[in-house]
Amino acid sequence: MKVIILLAGYGTRMRPHTWSRPKPLLNVAGNTVVGHILDMMEEITTEEVIFVVGYKGDQIEAWIRENYPQLDTYFIIQEEALGQAHAVWLCREFLDDGDVVVAFGDGIIEADYANFANPDLDAVLLVEEIEDPRRFGVAVLNEAGYVTNLIEKPPTKEHKLAIAGINWFRSGAQLFQAIDKILKEGRQTLGEYFMVDAYQVMLERGAKMRTMLLNQWADAGTPQAILSTNARLLSAGYATSDALERGFEDGFTVLPPVYIHPEADIEAAIIGPYASIGKNVRIRNAVVRNSIVDPGAQIEDCILDDSLIGENAKVSGQGKALFVGDDSTLDLG
């Protein structure tokens, strides 16, 4: 089974953090976004893993090669932002008769990947049942449980199975043929080619599709979303197990759950709940709650709530709800 992961977006909603690094390399709960994705998909990344990169793709490639050297990785560059389907089309040399998983890299999705493949079907779509699905694509099922239609951003709440963005296909070649058709026809929405249109072509050609409910879907597309994802992951077992003991030994207070890197330097502080503290972070006389502090940052004499502090940033003085980019200095005194 091949796995294609789409990581070419600009991450504009995550600025200022994405001015200096791509969204897949943003930190959350002790790892990067793409690191969590790869860890959760570990059971199915045993063959070729193809990453489609664009904006600051060299950073993504270097990080993955350094941190996941065991993977058989390939990197494809999407030079024009022509959408998801175009990104997969660029991987056409890998789309043969074997099965393939296509994953969008803007969400951290926990699912039963070991049982994802189904040889009796042409595709399996990961979905989550949500109350208001109008900003997502949704799957419409018949009484037998087969997908009969796909609707992008439906106008009503009638169909609640939101497509999460990680899907399995029995034949990469079959998927490519559907994508190739919509590209040749110029079937675009707002200047981009969407995968849901390719899935619709497959349905029109008689493909058998079902859905599979995921376990957890955590978004990483906005500052508020990544803070929520951080809290969910820390609550789900990604917290530092010995944080309370370390706080007692080093003279700071911990309110779990938190992630604290072993090489963080903390004194006279209250950390947590829902705080992630990166490598070589220095914190003095501060309170850090529901926040992510990236490697090398320095925090002093302040209270941080609902904040994202970039790598090597320096923050001092009173402050709450701050989004501070990499290598920035902010004195609120």
The confidence band for 325, taking pLDDT boundaries of 50, 70 and 90, is low
Q: List the structure tokens of 311.
A: 């790598």
Domain 240-331: assigned CATH number: 2.160.10.10
User: Would the pLDDT of 105 be above 90?
Assistant: no
Q: Do domains 2-219 and 240-331 have the same CATH topology?
A: no
Query: How big is the chain, counted in residues?
Result: 333
pLDDT score recorded for residue 329:
61
Give the model confidence (pLDDT) of 30-52 as tens digits: 999 999 999 999 989 888 999 99
pLDDT score recorded for residue 330:
54
Higher pLDDT, 17 or 287: 287
128-132-134 Cα angle (round to 5): 95
Residues facing 266 on adjacent strands: 283
- Could you give the CA distance from residue 195 to residue 137 in angstroms, rounded to a whole number? 10
Provide the whole-model pTM: 0.89
Task: For residue 223, say if its preceding peptide bond is cis, omega within 30 degrees of 0.
Answer: no
The confidence band for 137, taking pLDDT boundaries of 50, 70 and 90, is confident
CATH fold for domain 2-219: Spore Coat Polysaccharide Biosynthesis Protein SpsA; Chain A (3.90.550)
- Could you give the CA distance from residue 159 to residue 134 in angstroms, rounded to a whole number? 9
- Could you give the CA distance from residue 70 to residue 32 in angstroms, rounded to a whole number? 17
**Residue 155: CA atoms inside 13 Å, Cβ hemisphere, count?**
0
pLDDT score recorded for residue 6:
94
Domain spans of the chain?
2-219, 240-331
DSSP letters of 19-55?
A: GTS-GGG-EETTEEHHHHHHHHTGGG-SSEEEEEE-T
